[in-house]
Amino acid sequence: MADKTSNKMWGGRFAAGPDAIMEAINASISFDKRMAAQDIAGSRAHAAMLGAQGVIETSDAETIREGLLTVLSEIEGGTFEFSTALEDIHMNVEARLKEVIGEPAGRLHTGRSRNDQVATDFKLWVRDQFDAAEGALLALIDALLAQAEAGADWVMPGFTHLQTAQPVTWGHHMMAYVEMFGRDLSRMRDARARMNESPLGAAALAGTSFPIDRDMTAQALGFDRPSANSLDAVSDRDFALEFLGAASICAMHLSRFAEELVIWSSAQFRFVTLSDRFSTGSSIMPQKKNPDAAELIRAKIGRIFGANVALMMVMKGLPLAYSKDMQEDKEQVFDAADNLMLALAAMEGMVRDMNANRSQLAAAAGSGFSTATDLADWLVRVLGLPFRDAHHITGALVAMAEAQGCDLPDLTLEQMQSVHASINDGVFTVLGVDNSVNSRTSYGGTAPAQVRIQITRWKEHMK
């Protein structure tokens, strides 16, 4: 390849190239080379359109398209020499294309600007990340459904404030995360549909006088339509912000689940056992099995949140149309996408491999007076008491059981009647944890029958 220390892309306006400091702050090739495939795809679509419209000779268009494939093969093969002096992936590709095919390479940039070119490249890259996130979320949801189906009737404690509240089922708890990640999936799909408009042909900011066909390039690149305003097309980064927004909410869900896995796998809970593939040991404590994958998911989420805030700060003060500030749009998105995909893959692996300790879950489900609400409901439903009275009576019975070191089902009928004389032995039909979860038959409730309904619904949805 020829010497590229002198950058001629600014033409005759500047007599000398940028000095080292300006070159360092201005160049983006160190990170935007990740968009090489998207850049070449956009250029090949643009060249084909220019030829079809008669803007350039069809023979030149085909020569450009073939030359771009050669450049792509060099990049993918690791033999391409990237130059900081050429600033970005667009100029690196174009310079090499000229070396490969000669004079026709200079016709490629007809009817476009780097402004619409970079917007197109970045949109194509982000669109790929939406697709990758969708696939990863579907895999995670599938793993959660398998856990839910296996333990649809396994009882465990449900918590509020991390205090024992009411018994639920393992399947119900797993399905709660299915709903969460299902909303993430919906957000990814929704944002992808909204961003699927092509900026290519908006040129620098005002469109072009060449007779281009923007519908042709949009279709070639898989966009639904060309963007309708050239000013907006080159200055819009909503698609990246929406990706980061959806990624941040998804990351928050991942972090919540990771926190539960850290708690559940502790010696104090022993609700689950994580596989060795997603755990590590201690350098000095041989008994330790640390949930490092879950902890790292919990920590990496900060990078995704940070990327979201960083890009919002970049964009918040920019007048129309393009400003060089927008070069700072990519590194944060690249990093966030990498960490989201890693976190999703790690979480899917942990969910598929983890084993729930059914006996420990059941033992914990019956502790902490978890059926107190069932007792209060029974007093209302069977004895016709006002709920506030039933709440007071149940509180007195909880205090009695606590004083005697037992749980509510262990109190005798006589002891219960000492608090309220009308209580009869029918109360014992609601005090067991299995009775409790089986009674929660309202739509979306924790009863195994309801859990299985939701599993079936999601399986159908996944199809």
* Angle between helix 114-150 and helix 170-195 axes, rounded to 10 deg: 160
Task: Give the residue from 285, 289, 284, 256 showing the smallest Cα distance to 272.
Answer: 289
Locate the DSSP E strands across 310-426. Answer: 355-356
Residue pair 156/168 in contact by the 8 Å Cβ criterion: yes
Catalytic site includes residue 109 = no
Q: Rounded to an integer, what distance in angstroms lies between the CA atom of residue 9 and that of residue 75?
A: 21
Give the integer Cα–Cα distance in Å for 34 and 127.
Answer: 14
For CA atoms 14, 17, 19, 24, the dihedral sign is positive
β-strand partners of 273: 355
Q: Using an 8 Å Cβ cutoff, are 158 and 168 in contact? A: yes
Query: Which helix (H) or strand (E) element contains residue 176?
Result: helix 170-195
Instruction: Check: CB of residue 327 under 8 Å from CB of residue 122.
Output: no
Contacts for 40 with CB less than 8 Å, ≥ 6 apart? 68, 69, 71, 72, 93
Active site residue 161: yes
Q: Which two tokens stand for residue 387?
A: 């709920």
Question: 161, 209, 283, 442: which one is catalytic?
Answer: 161
Of 186, 266, 282, 422, catalytic: 282
Cis-peptide, bond into residue 321, ω within 30° of zero = yes
Q: Is 79 exposed, middle or buried (0-12, 13-18, 19+ CB in 10 A)?
A: exposed
Catalytic residues: 161, 282
